[in-house]
Structure 1
Amino acid sequence: MKKLGLVGGMGPESTIPYYHDIVYGVQQKSGKHFFPNLTIESVDVFEVLHLCSEKKYDELTAYLMQAIHNLVKSGADFAALSANTPHIIFNRLQEQSPIPLISIVEASCLEAERRKLRTVGLLGTVFTMRENFFKKPFAEKNIQIITPDDSEMDFVNAKIASELELGIVKQDTLGVLQRIILRMKEENRIEAVILGCTELPLILHDAVSPVSCIDTMKIHIHAIVDAILEE
């Protein structure tokens, strides 16, 4: 059984379900009455977002590599980032990391392919929605990603930063998100929407979304559980 090193804190509200669902997921899948050994290195989500906004990718890489090195020192066999946005530099981290990294983007892309989806919406931070790092693997599998328009992107990004990162869930915010998804469904014929921020499941899920949700956090957790149990 392999030890996970999780880079958490991006933000705390998603790190909590990561921990809970990983340890119970391993217990359930293994069928054994125990919890796996893992280490969480918590970083500052606001520092991550600041470095992204300034496009200081060398500094962001160094910041997250320090977290990964701390996890290596704890005995981690592999690592994962508990957020979508820092995957903007995932390839850099993967090249420099002494241990394997599990990508939330790659895992989500495989799930979309498994569902035989061809057109999907994408919600997340402005970096996730505007940059190419999330879209590229989907395009390689001929899956089209539709993003909101500029004003809608600004709204989604602002609500993630000012509400969801702090665990605040508001019904009026949900209403606007539902209208954004519905517009993309009607105008762009999206078949599902990617919850491309690990805080979005706090407010969006299949029961309230106009289309089915691709919950990147849940998908990532399943991939991590499989990696822990891998012989």
Structure 2
Amino acid sequence: MKTIGLIGGMSWESTVSYYQVINEKIKESLGGFHSAKLVLYSVDFHEIEQLQSSGEWVAAGEVLADAARALKAAGADFLVLCTNTMHKVYGAIEAAVDIPLFHIADAAAQAIKEKGISTVGLLGTRFTMEEAFYRERLRVDHGFEVLVPDQEDRDLVHRVIFEELCLGKIDAASRDAFRTIVAGLVERGAEGVILGCTEIALLLPPADSSTPLFDTAAIHARKAADLALL
């Protein structure tokens, strides 16, 4: 079994789910008392959020590159970045080490292709919804048409992520608003919706929706466990 290196803490609420899902998948695959071999580097999300807000992405990339180096030194065979937004600095992390970094959008794309879906909606932080680093990887590398909500709804999704979900707050009114936004994406042609922030499934569990919802945290974690067993 390979050792997984997790770069987490963004936020810690969703990093917990990575640890749980990875170990559940390993136990399911191997049985008995088996659990995952992994090392975790959990950053102080306050520092990362400040760099995001001020647009200091190079500095944020350096912080996560240092985390990647530490995980490699601790014995990790490959890396998993437990957040969607910070894949904006994927290149800086990838360049820092000579072990693979498993991209979360690639994991999501595998799951979407398995469902035979070609047009997807995308929810996430405004960085993930509005910038090219995530949408273009899905479009160019995997051939999906990607729809995002309108500006007002993007603002709402971003606010709920940072003011509620990353602080562990689950609000029924926000859940209803997210459901309405999902319905709007479906009306525009989305066959499924990517929960492109690792906290969104805490608010909007895929099992509670008639529309296919792709929980990127759970998908990424399960496929990371698969990679560890190859």
Deviation at 1:9, TM superposition (A): 0.5
Range 88-97 or range 103-112, more displaced: 88-97
Give CA deviations for 1:109-150 in whole Å, capped at 9, x if unaligned. Answer: 122122221211100111111111111122123311111111
Q: What is the alpha-carbon distance in structure 2 between the residues aligned to residue 15 and residue 36 of structure 1?
A: 15
* TM-score for the superposition, normalised by structure 1: 0.94
Where does residue 177 of structure 1 map in the other structure? 178
Offset of residue 210 of structure 1: 5.3
Q: After TM superposition, list the pairs within 5 Å mapping 1:105-144 onto structure 2.
A: 105-140=105-140, 141-144=142-145
Q: Distance in 1 between matches of 2:143 and 2:24?
A: 35
Unaligned segments of structure 2, at least 5 residues: none
Which residue does the alignment assign to 1:217? 217
Superposition deviation, residue 218 in structure 1: 1.2
Q: Which segment drifts farther, 68-77 or 26-35?
A: 26-35
Determine what percentage of the aligned residue pairs are the same residue: 34
Alpha-carbon distance between aligned partners in 1 of 2:209 and 2:182, rounded to the nearest angstrom? 7
Give the TM-score, by structure 2 length: 0.94
Relative to structure 1, the CA distance from residue 209 to residue 49 in structure 2 (aligned partners, 3 Å threshold; closer, same or farther) is: farther
In structure 1, the partner of 2:34 is 34
For the residues of structure 1 that align with 2:119 and 2:109, how far apart are their CA atoms? 12
Q: Secondary structure at the match of 1:148?
A: coil
Distance 2:73 2:206 in 1: 40
Cα distance in 1 for residues equivalent to 2:216 and 2:143: 19
C-alpha contact 1:102 1:223 (8 A) present in aligned 2: no
Q: Secondary structure at the match of 1:214?
A: strand
- State the one-letter code of the partner of 1:123: L
Give per-residue Cα distances to partners, 1:195-221, cap 9 Å, x unaligned: 001100101123433521011111101
Partner of residue 8, structure 1: 8
**Alignment check: 8 A CA contact 1:138 1:145 kept:** yes
What's the CA shift for 1:77? 1.3
Aligned-pair CA distance for 1:95: 2.3
Note if contact 1:178-1:210 (Cα within 8 Å) is conserved in structure 2.
no
Cα-to-partner distance string for 1:173-227 (whole Å, 9 max, x where unaligned) = 00111111111212x1111110001100101123433521011111101111012
CA contact (8 A) 1:109 1:137 kept: no
CA contact (8 A) 1:125 1:160 kept: yes
Deviates further, 51-60 or 17-26:
51-60
Whether the 8 Å CA contact 2:62–2:92 is kept in 1: the answer is no
- Letter of the 1:203 partner, please give it: L
Asked if the contact 1:52–1:127 (Cα under 8 Å) also holds between the matched residues in 2, the reply is: no
Segment drifting more, 91-100 vs 159-168 = 91-100
User: Relative to structure 2, which stretch is displaced further, 18-27 or 41-50?
Assistant: 41-50
SS of structure 1 residue aligned to 2:208:
coil
Structure 1 unaligned regions, length at least 5:
none
Query: Secondary structure at the residue paired with 1:93?
Result: helix
Could you tell me which residue of structure 2 aligns to residue 82 of structure 1? 82
Partner residue in 2 for 1:196: 196
Residues of 1 paired with 2:161 and 2:28: CA distance? 31
Q: Distance in 2 between matches of 1:83 and 1:222?
A: 15
Counterparts of 2:17 and 2:161 in 1: how far apart (Å)?
17
Structure 1: distance between partners of 2:30 and 2:208: 32
- Structure 2: which amino acid aligns with 1:112? I
Q: Where has structure 1 moved over 4 Å in runs of 4 or more? A: none
Contact residue 161 and residue 200 of structure 2 kept, 8 A:
yes
